[in-house]
Amino acid sequence: MKVILASKSPRRIEILHKHGIDAVVIPAETDESLPDGIGMTEAVEMLAKRKAMACYDAVHNEYPGHIIIGADTIVWKDQIMGKPRDHEDAYRMLDKIRGTVHYVVTGVALIDTDTGSCRVLSDITEVHCVNYSDADILDYISREEPYDKAGSYAIQGYFGRYIDHIDGDYENVVGLPFYRIEPFIRDYL
């Protein structure tokens, strides 16, 4: 395969594997600060492009004929909800989304290592949570699962029991909207 994933996310790696892609994994460390007032799609697209460009700058000469995939996922409920800082932050996020609807937004940047051409896109999934209890939140945040996830949860994990339904792409909520990028990476497979 001639795909480079500019992420160490085990969930993104798993999605690619599920679709028959064994990508070269080259995580890109970048500045993840955002300007005040930025919208949800603009935020993830900016961060995905930063990650893909950092990877491109580091390795494009070593990997001719490849495509680099950079991605970033956030949860949006009146504001960006990234990864929680601690138990209190995880509790705050999970309290905010219970019994309501929120959005999971993933931005993806695709860069051709030969030409440097870049395509950026995003996908939005509407997620409906059941009205779980305070005890449910406390039980969940006592586990390891919430702490490296945007919005403090993993739909594919234990928290899935608290999702009523989604409108949109499940893989987007996990971290990579494969159906959106497949047409652009087909030539590299």
Q: Mark whether 36 is an active-site residue.
A: no
Q: Which of 36, 72, 164, 187 is labelled catalytic?
A: 72
Please state, in angstroms and rounded to a whole number, the distance separating the CA atoms of residues 124 and 14.
20
For the annotated catalytic residues, the residue numbers are 72
